Amino acid sequence: MIDRDRFPVDPWRLVETRYSADDVGVTESVFAVGNGYLGLRGNHPEGRHAHEQGTFVNGFHEIFAIRHAEQAFGLAEQGQALVNAPDAKVMRVYVDDEPLMLETADLREYERVLDLRTGVLTRTVHWTTPSGKEVRIEFERMVSFEEKHLAIMRVTVTVLGADAPVTISCQLLNRQDGEDVYGGTPVVTKKAGFDPRRSDTFHERVLIPQEYWQDELRSVLAYRVAASGMTIAVVADHVVETENEYSVRTLVEPDIAKNVFRVQAKAGVPVTVTKLVSYHTSTGVPARELVDRGRRTLDRIRDEGVAHQFERQAAWCAAFWDRSDVVVEGHDELQQAVRWCLFQLAQAAARADGLGVPAKGVTGSGYSGHYFWDTEIYVLPFLAYTTPRWARNALRMRYLMLPAARKRAGQLSEAGALFPWRTINGEEASAYYAAGTAQYHINADISFALAKYVRATGDEEFLHREGVDIAVETARLWTSLGFWRFGEQGDAESFHIHGVTGPDEYTTVVNDNLFTNVMARFNLRFAARTVREMAHDAPEAYRLMAQRLSFDPAEADAWEAAAEAMHIPYSEGLGIHPQDAVFLEREVWDLENTPESQRPLLLHFHPLVIYRYQVLKQADVVLALFLQGNHFTAAEKLVDFEYYDPLTTGDSTLSAVVQSILAAEVGYRDLALEYFRDSLFVDLGDLHHNASDGVHVASAGGVWTALVCGFGGMRDHYGDLTFDPRLPADWPSLQYTLHWRGTALRVTVTATALTIAAGPGDPVEFSVRGVPHRVAGGETVVVALDGQGPVREGRPRLGEIAEARREDGSLLSASVPDPTSAFPLLETVGEVQADLEDGS
């Protein structure tokens, strides 16, 4: 999957040893640096020839009217899209007035490194100029984790063996509205093909200039976003260090600011230019106020010193790895990719600070910078168990969205709150309701993440003050959306939820989607239990909640009753849980005989074609088996997995991690490892051919879950910490850290033992394969293991499904949609002579 000559294995660094323009979009994503608030794509400082010259600030967006081909009441009316912030990455180098251009340069040495221990991107080149001069250029780029609004870029140029004039041109550019390094509109070299996952572009001016000025070596560009009204200010300062003589020239216009340093470089005497950049944004503060904030940021950084910022960054990273690292012994290739994925989670969430975690983090414009359910199901577990503060911040984002979610529920004639499927500002931005708004399960996903966070941390203060509002309002929606079915005697028998879409977007707007019903049941029970415990343990917080939400105690009884009666689909004939009420009535899509040229399906078949078949974009029932595994038996998990795995395309990057976890649990050990590798190299190997649009943050979060919950066997159902490991046969050991209610637990799994070493803190109770244990703070407990669970060879196949029959006795058959397939069927029908009930 990866050219290891160009990208060698290194457990702590992502290294590129040769420049190539062939995959520049992918390398821009995988070498991006960010902190959750600010992100800089891995564009080269020369500032030309990129897939996407991107600088992104979390939540910094424009709005626009959604134009539906056919309008209907309640459809999303206003879209939101991430705005490409002014670009400060450009630091162009000229020697003898010849520019360094990587595409044509004679490079004797090239190395680009993202060091995961220091949080710094570096690039070193040895360039032979057209006149034969040897030049060494070293570049550094960092987005600070400690200073939310700060980015630092530094270039050092040394001419070797000869004197030469050197120019370093540092620029700020408004690329959103079409400026390139020369101040003009860039030429689009090729048009990308259709891909619904890619962000739309704006055709009108987006950033309206508010301020642009320079003061000595400091440059300022500030803007207001045309329709959303958001504001941004970019302030850049420059520090020059050299023993060479130099002069400075500046230029500032509304969309470009230049600080140009002209140096008379002596042989072997370096010149270093450091650019300090501060980004500040707001939903309503005037741009001038943001300029003042940026100036204060840079004044403080200059007083502290640039070197100190790099020291703080390295110390921050060391602390992050101490509480977050996962060690796969003996497999450096996997180790490198694992650490890269975990680092992406830090870059996406560390300084989100009450904002959401976009699907692409701050590494690209894919999915328009929107927040999805990805955060709660795939990213929050990592945050809650390694850095709980980040998880709390992400959950507060949902709490702050409650007013808009209540409004949205009202538009859809429901009570409570309905969180948007995709959003930045809290309003629904999904124009395709069937695979968007209809995914009501996002309500339960958010409540599930809230419960997981509270159980892992014991943070009842957050639950009682803000989290309970989420639990109550989401529960109210389920009792409004669902309905009761009554028996012949008029007594309530079962509770149903119709007209929804589950995680599998290849099956939309169905009745009794199993995942939705199972998760809604959890949501209802969690809300009922929370308010009752508050009434008993925190009466004042309960009183305030009841007053704030107009809560009636009878609501909790209704929630509990609906949960207990929730209909969970089950097929007696096949012995499996159907994905929804009619899923098994559809024909089976023969994935094994679907050519790769027709994958992914969403790019080659109309949705209506896909909707008519049993075929999955991503794990649906299987995800329910993992998240709510305490409600399914081991036997049920096995038969469900064996039925659905051959039907799952994996067209979604969210799928492989879940399939890996369940494959490991039910015994398909080799298959689990195969799925794990698929998820691990989603971006580094560009397995879905869209890594150029940004990192798949949820998949990176899923990698952690696959390691800890899949191979590491950790579960936390009902807030009880349990372990049942499934270590791959050729892994000597797996080590990870969990933070359980304030106590750090370092867990080591080998073929014969599970070891838990506790840091300072309260004792922790846990169980291993049903046997209870307890570890005190500062102590270590070793538990012997008898094997790694059941072992099953190969993988489930479609052929096994084809032998099964539906409830009505009809035989399941698999096929690939083909307009010519009807002709042999007609011939077969012609050969059959039979009387129908009407005599025909």
* Six token digits for residue 748: 């080591």
3-class SS at 746?
Answer: strand
User: Which residue carries 């529960």 as its tokens?
Assistant: 475
3-class SS at 779?
Answer: coil
Q: Report the chain's C-alpha Rg in angstroms.
A: 28
Q: State the amino acid at position 802 in one-letter form.
A: A
φ, ψ of residue 112 in degrees (nearest 5): -120, 135
Contact, 170 vs 261, CB < 8 A?
yes
Within 8 A by CB and 6+ apart from 743, the residues are 758, 759, 760, 761, 762, 763, 764, 777
Candidate list 414, 473, 505, 665, residue with the active-site label: 505
3-class SS at 132?
Answer: coil
505: annotated active-site residue: yes
Long-range contacts of residues 71-79, Cβ cutoff 8 Å, at least 24 apart: 73/411, 74/411, 74/412, 75/431, 75/433, 76/427, 76/428, 76/429, 76/430, 76/431, 76/433, 76/436, 76/437, 78/427, 78/429, 79/368, 79/429, 79/431
DSSP state of 489: T
Contact, 274 vs 153, CB < 8 A?
yes
CA distances to 192, 362, 613, 674 from 597, in Å: 18, 31, 19, 22
Contact, 731 vs 331, CB < 8 A?
yes
φ, ψ of residue 743 in degrees (nearest 5): -110, 125
Contact, 9 vs 332, CB < 8 A?
yes
Q: What's the rounded Cα separation, in Å, for the pair 812 and 533?
A: 49
DSSP string for residues in 247-261: EEEEEEETTEEEEEE
CA distances to 635, 723, 779, 785 from 771, in Å: 21, 10, 19, 11
Contact, 81 vs 62, CB < 8 A?
yes
Q: Each residue of 215-239: b (16+ CB within 10 Å) or e?
A: eebbbbbbbbbbebebbbbbbbbbe
Q: Quickly count: other Cβ atoms within 10 Å of residue 794's Cβ.
A: 8
DSSP state of 193: P
* Six token digits for residue 378: 């795939």
Q: Which residues are catalytic?
A: 505
